[in-house]
Amino acid sequence: MFDLSSFSITLNMGKSLCVYVLLLNLLVLSVLVLSERNFYNILGVSRNANLNQIKKAYRKLAKELHPDKNTDDPNAASKFADLSAAYEVLSNKEKREKYDKCGEECLKKDGMMGEGMDPFASFFGDFGFHFGNGDSRHETRKGANIVMDLYVSLEELYNGNFVEITHNKPVLKPAPGTRRCNCRQELQTKSLGPGRFQMIQQTVCDECPNVKFVTEDRLLEVEIEAGMQDGQEVKFVAEGEPHLDGDPGDLVLRIKTQPHKVFERKGDDLYTNVTVSLADALTGFSLEIQHLDGRKLTIQRDKVTWPGARLRKKGEGMPHYENNNLHGALYITFDVEFPKEGFSEEDEESLKKILKQKSVNNVYNGLREEL
């Protein structure tokens, strides 16, 4: 009796030891897996996110997590490095495919991680603060700002998009020799003899290492945010004209809306015109309008529609810039196409009978009535 129970105890211990070893293994394994960063989680996007969603997420987080803005968080730099790595991989088709297949270790093995990608090389319009040497910027001279119109479609303003711009930027590079620099006017006192001085103004310069301009191709990415307004500006700090003794100016891109074939925009409202036949206008109709995101809007009328009548569709206008969930309205104004050729006497009589309309000679001010 006693023997049997002690046997069963050892058996149990053996079992739990087994389970314990298994758990330990699992733990070690999960730690190994954890050391691989989940780039999708870091960016907060789903695994099937498209490039636009990835860029959008990155741009938003880069603004929030930038170490210059989080000076009291000791982990700010590593968080930002994780973010940059996530963006580097997921924004590149080849790297993303590899990462999806076999993870970060795989990319590292193939030398595809962190190969000198400068995360600040593109993309940084409108961040509203300076990267890097942020402290000492008193009275430095600046090159001219370049202001450029950027033509975008109404579709882009409705849905949002990223636009790539390559520009040829003159960049200062070291060159042999020295040059006069930081020239300024200084007052100097010259002695003209005992008790007599003269103040003279002189141009004084420093000697600086020589530099030359080299043009570099720069890739900038502009986010066309949903709901942006015509004339709104996106600023790229330091992408403007260079300055020999100071900072480059900024590049300012001004959003311009290309005319659209179907819609006209006023504020957040959209306007469109639809012509229907007289028969449809009298008896009702159903038609489709393709919206800016590709959706088909069905417009149905079973009442009489008169020329100039206007239909208002709530929530089908442009998204509001500050809050994309709010939309303006879509106004559809109807025009009626009348038959060009006349009718037989017989038909004319029937029409008069059907329509039962009295003659009207109404002089009016042209204000439209809403349906």
Ligand X SMILES: *[C@@H]1O[C@H](CO)[C@@H](O)[C@H](O)[C@H]1NC(C)=O
Q: Provide the binding-site residues for ligand X, judged by CB under 6 A.
A: 263-264, 271-273, 333
Among 317, 332, 338, 335, residue whose Cα is nearest residue 371: 332
Which are the contacts of 282, defined by CB distance < 8 A and separation ≥ 6? 304
3-state secondary structure of 371: coil
Which are the contacts of 279, defined by CB distance < 8 A and separation ≥ 6? none
- Residue among 30 and 273 whose Cβ is closer to ligand X: 273
Tell me, rounded to whole angstroms, the distance of Cα 305 from its chain centroid. 41
User: Residue 124: is it exposed, middle or buried by C-beta count within 10 angstroms (0-12/13-18/19+)?
Assistant: buried
- Residue among 272 and 305 whose Cβ is closer to ligand X: 272
Please count the CA atoms within 13 angstroms of the CA of 236 that sit on its side-chain side.
25
Q: How far apart are CA 83 and CA 43, in angstroms?
A: 7
Among 36, 88, 35, 92, residue whose Cα is nearest residue 62: 88
Residue pair 239/251 in contact (Cβ under 8 Å)? The answer is: yes
Indicate the angle between helix axes 93-109 and 76-90, nearest 10 degrees: 120
- Residue among 127 and 263 whose Cβ is closer to ligand X: 263
**b/e 258-291 (16+ beta carbons within 10 angstroms → b):** eebeebebeebbbbbebebeeebbbeebeeebeb
- Residue among 52 and 275 whose Cβ is closer to ligand X: 275
Q: Minimum Å distance from CB 270 to ligand X?
A: 8
Residue pair 312/330 in contact (Cβ under 8 Å)? The answer is: yes
- Residue among 232 and 333 whose Cβ is closer to ligand X: 333
- Residue among 114 and 307 whose Cβ is closer to ligand X: 307
- Residue among 58 and 263 whose Cβ is closer to ligand X: 263
Q: Minimum Å distance from CB 335 to ligand X?
A: 7
Q: Minimum Å distance from CB 308 to ligand X?
A: 9
Q: Minimum Å distance from CB 262 to ligand X?
A: 7
- Residue among 202 and 273 whose Cβ is closer to ligand X: 273
Please count the CA atoms within 13 angstroms of the CA of 194 that sit on its side-chain side.
0
Q: Minimum Å distance from CB 43 to ligand X?
A: 39
